[in-house]
A and B are shown apart, each in its own frame.
Chain A
Amino acid sequence: MPSSYALHEILYASEASYAENVTSPSSNTWTKKLPILSWDSDPPTQEIGTDGSIQSRSNESRQGFKLGRPGGEISFTTLWPGHGTTTAGALTENWFQDLLSDGLGGSDATQVGGAALITGVTSATQFAQTGGTLVNGGIIRIGIKGDTRGDGQAVVVSDASTVTLMTATAAQVSTADTIFAALLAYPRETSNVSVSKRFLCGWTDTGAQYHYMGCHLSGLTFNIPLDGSALPTVQWRYQYAYWDRSAVTIPATSLALEEAEAAPFAGGSVFYNTYGTATRAVLNPLELQLSLDIANAVEYAPYAGQAADQTVRAIHRLRCVPTLSMVCRWSTDFDALFTSDGPDTTHKHILVTCNTTDGRSVGFYMPRCYLIGGKPSIMEHSGLTCQRVTFRGRESALQPANDLGKSAIRFFTA
């Protein structure tokens, strides 16, 4: 008897080499079981049609040959989880960071937070600390919600040695305030060979276990409800090179379901100011949606090694362009952004902190972005006069001059 369609699970692992087991999916091993909310698979690009030959009778036809390669796209949706445990100390990479950083190319899990690390405070954009580990271009959170200083919000560190911030706190922090570290994921261009993944989507029916191999992140959409009715979610899209069925036992008892502690967007903030200006200013959008346009390139070779006639050697990341769409209260400010175009463009930087709960805090930073799309006009949202504004991220020219400092978007998990 077939089982319930809902009774399925997704496992994944990093591939040691691109599409390594396409000829032997039974060799696939798995390292983590994902806490997914939903799953979808586009029809594979390989298909069979009719052969098109003329027949003696009009209603007669013949099956043709299968065409195309057995690749396609899978997608799944998860909650947007935080670190899971306190970040007032060292960090542990979780599945979210693993997928996100391998997909984008850049990862940093070296930051270390803690209590009583702040030894002196100069201003709302600078303080001294000892005992913690911060990185240039990194993101941390300071204090707790309601303390009127750091307020538990995220800030961006320009120079870790002097702890100079690109985004000021609401007021000078105190030596009593705790620094919360954050896992960082960001696009990386200095080494753009993508770490490929493999996924197993398995149902309990014997043989209904689908192996997707040679997978590369091809798109991300973050839905961030602000109306207190739903949780932030992430839709992951992966291009796969090959799929096959190979029977494994589902449920996979050897792997525990991974942690995913999330929280609504509440108590957070949307820092918004002119590029290069650290003064704290905030927007209060009614709606937020972030999407990443990710492009990959295929590197071909006469013989790539995994299968007899395999010619795809690797996948390279080409582009990762963030687009942030917001519905904000109506204002003439956005008109002015539309007016200053071309070389006169006024750039902004935007830092979003979804919530301030230790272990559940997530968000992102776009260090340099500009208005795109139609001229902001007027629309109704929740009965209010509003505007939809869309910002495209571009690389920062500020320090540090490395992939993290340049990255058009960087995510934090704290």
Chain B
Amino acid sequence: MPLTTTTFHAIRDQMATKIALITPSFVPERKFARSKRRATLGAWVQSAAKGEALFRAFEVVRGDGEGEPIHIDASALLRTMAVTVNVAYPMLLAIYGSADLDDVEKVVRSDAAQIRDVLFSSGNYVAGQQAAFPQPLPEPDRSDPDVWLQSIPINVVFYESETLV
């Protein structure tokens, strides 16, 4: 059977699909919603109304840094690509429970753990994808007092086609 290759965008879409299926441990009635606007999530939350629509809006984008690909042969390579899942959390504290920042931290942390588990699980890979290794979780970006952004870095390993002669 010939080697199956895939692409970043196929993996990205699969990751987004799987994240959207998560039932969050906290505030489970509000699921993750992929942001597909013509702007990055960070840019969008700056311009958007700081409403509940932002809660758990997420995007899957290429991250910073990438390992040296391994050439399998002239038709395929094994690539390790840094991918980042960004999730928005508006500071509408009533959403989170008892209306203090501790609850926000609790939800953000729990969400990140669930997302990492779902993406790491090999049952959620597309054909050609070999791994999704969660990386150390940075603290949320709190620079905007109205919306926090939690980035979740993942290293994705997959076969990618190439055409070399």
On A, residues with C-beta under 8 Å from B are 6-9, 33, 35-38, 79, 84-85, 92, 94, 145, 204, 228-231, 250-251, 256-264, 266-267, 355-357, 360
Nearest-Cβ distance from residue A374 to partner chain B, whole angstroms: 33
**B10 partner residues in chain A, CB cutoff 8 A:** none
The answer on a CB contact under 8 Å between A79 and B165 is no
| A-B CB pair tally, cutoff 8 Å | 81
Q: 0/1 per residue, B27-69, Cβ < 8 Å to A?
A: 0000000000000000000000000000000000000000000
The answer on a CB contact under 8 Å between A263 and B1 is no
Q: Among B122, B157, B165, which residue has its beta carbon within 8 angstroms of that of A267?
A: B122
Q: Among B1, B71, B127, which residue has its beta carbon within 8 angstroms of that of A258?
A: B1
Q: Among A8, A251, A263, which residue has its beta carbon within 8 angstroms of that of B125?
A: A263
The answer on a CB contact under 8 Å between A257 and B2 is yes
Nearest-Cβ distance from residue A151 to partner chain B, whole angstroms: 13
B23 in the interface, Cβ–Cβ < 8 Å?
no
B78 in the interface, Cβ–Cβ < 8 Å?
yes
Q: Known A145-B123, A261-B127; judge A37-B70 contact (CB<8 A).
A: yes
Q: Among A7, A251, A267, which residue has its beta carbon within 8 angstroms of that of B121?
A: A267
The answer on a CB contact under 8 Å between A360 and B133 is no
The answer on a CB contact under 8 Å between B130 and A262 is yes
B81 in the interface, Cβ–Cβ < 8 Å?
no
The answer on a CB contact under 8 Å between A6 and B71 is yes
The answer on a CB contact under 8 Å between B134 and A228 is yes
**B2 partner residues in chain A, CB cutoff 8 A:** 256-259
The answer on a CB contact under 8 Å between A9 and B73 is yes
B7 in the interface, Cβ–Cβ < 8 Å?
no
Q: Among A33, A37, A94, A229, which residue has its beta carbon within 8 angstroms of that of B78?
A: A37
Q: 0/1 per residue, B118-137, Cβ < 8 Å to A?
A: 00111101011011011000
Nearest-Cβ distance from residue B40 to partner chain A, whole angstroms: 28
B76 in the interface, Cβ–Cβ < 8 Å?
yes
CA distance A231 to B130 in the complex (A): 8
What are 10 A-B residue pairs whose CB atoms fall within 8 Å in the complex? A8-B73, A35-B72, A36-B72, A228-B133, A229-B133, A251-B74, A259-B4, A263-B131, A264-B120, A266-B120
Q: Known A228-B134, A231-B131, A258-B1; judge A264-B122 contact (CB<8 A).
A: yes
Nearest-Cβ distance from residue B107 to partner chain A, whole angstroms: 24
On B, residues with C-beta under 8 Å from A are 1-4, 70-76, 78, 120-123, 125, 127-128, 130-131, 133-134, 157, 164-165
Q: Among B71, B73, B74, B123, which residue has its beta carbon within 8 angstroms of that of A357?
A: B123
The answer on a CB contact under 8 Å between B1 and A85 is yes
CA distance A230 to B134 in the complex (A): 11
Nearest-Cβ distance from residue A252 to partner chain B, whole angstroms: 9
The answer on a CB contact under 8 Å between B133 and A264 is yes
Nearest-Cβ distance from residue B27 to partner chain A, whole angstroms: 23
Q: Considering the complex, give the chain B residue whose CB is closest to the CB of A252.
A: B73
CA distance A85 to B121 in the complex (A): 17
Nearest-Cβ distance from residue B83 to partner chain A, whole angstroms: 15
CA distance A65 to B76 in the complex (A): 43
The answer on a CB contact under 8 Å between B75 and A251 is yes
Q: Considering the complex, give the chain A residue whose CB is closest to the CB of B162.
A: A7
The answer on a CB contact under 8 Å between A257 and B75 is yes
Q: Considering the complex, give the chain B residue whose CB is closest to the CB of A202.
A: B73
Nearest-Cβ distance from residue A226 to partner chain B, whole angstroms: 12
CA distance A351 to B72 in the complex (A): 31
CA distance A399 to B157 in the complex (A): 42
The answer on a CB contact under 8 Å between B1 and A84 is yes
The answer on a CB contact under 8 Å between A251 and B165 is yes
